[in-house]
Amino acid sequence: MPELPEVETVRKTLLKEVKNKQILSASIYWNNIIAFPKVEEFQKQIQKQTINNVQRRGKWLIFELDDYYLLSHLRMEGKYFIRKKDDPIEKHQHVIFHFSDGTDLRYHDTRKFGKMYLLKKETAFSEKPLCNLGLEPWDKNLTPEYLKNKFHKKPIKTELLDQSIITGIGNIYADEILFLTKINPKTLATNLSTKDCQNIIKFTKQVLEKAIEYGGTTVKSYESSEGVHGRFQTHLLVHTKKECPICHSKTIKITVGGRGTYYCKNCQKER
């Protein structure tokens, strides 16, 4: 599944490809990808809209149009391709935006789990799905007090994956953050000290920045988002590792909240 760093890389690449392009029409071959509004409305409203910018919130790509925001979540397998309008339509290309310059932006999704919303600009950030998102890792409002206020009496691993607290931390990154903060993933989030929360914020930024950096330097196009994932994996400290890089004890693999979790029992203590 693409995580925040991969989505950020897709955003940067897409921006170069689609900025200032005008959408003439949209062809939709799998209606369930369009979460809002109804397909016919979606197709009507998006006509003649120009893409002015591509932003990101959590794992949502946000295409800024003239009157709307087009939100796109890639979920498991979503990808974008630029094609000429006469190029044959491939099997998994479910949504196609036709530009006035004769090119297409094609959304490809083998699993069909991706979602798109077309929302009026004025209200887009105060309604679903964006209103449910927590703070970005780099938001200045992300403080130990904010975390202590938001944390539930659940394992910290689960809380780091809760997108309504901090948005954009995926499973691999949560393990890496907890390894760097030396916190056992089973620790109840409500037991953490202010210092622990400070460290979580610090290392969340550090881990994601490093991942974006590798994504940004290694991915050749938005067509190969898995490539980013693969390169960052060579820099992982604990996730999928057999041995702790600090104390060299064997790492432990458990399941927390249904997610495979790696940690070092020796370095990461419960609170």
CB of 179 to Zn ion, least distance (A): 8
Asked if 266 interacts with Zn ion (CB under 5 A), we say yes
- Beta carbons of 16 and 97 less than 8 angstroms apart: no
> Which residues face 260 on adjacent strands?
255
Pick from 7, 142, 244, 256: which binds Zn ion (CB under 5 A)? 244
CB of 265 to Zn ion, least distance (A): 8
Asked if 14 interacts with Zn ion (CB under 5 A), we say no
- How many angstroms separate the CA atoms of 172 and 235, rounded? 12
59 is catalytic: yes
Asked if 28 interacts with Zn ion (CB under 5 A), we say no
Asked if 264 interacts with Zn ion (CB under 5 A), we say yes
The closest residue (CB) to Zn ion is 244
Cβ closest to Zn ion, residue 246 vs residue 254: 246
271 is catalytic: no
- How many angstroms separate the CA atoms of 114 and 32, rounded? 9
**CA dihedral of residues 119, 125, 126, 131 (deg, nearest 10):** 110
CB of 111 to Zn ion, least distance (A): 36
Asked if 236 interacts with Zn ion (CB under 5 A), we say no
DSSP state at residue 130 = G
CB of 266 to Zn ion, least distance (A): 4
Catalytic residue among 11, 56, 57, 59: 59
DSSP 198-229: HHHHHHHHHHHHHHHHHHHHH--SGGGHHHHH
How many CA atoms lie less than 13 Å away from 9 in the CB half-sphere? 29
Which residues contact Zn ion by CB under 5 A?
Answer: 244, 246-247, 264, 266-267
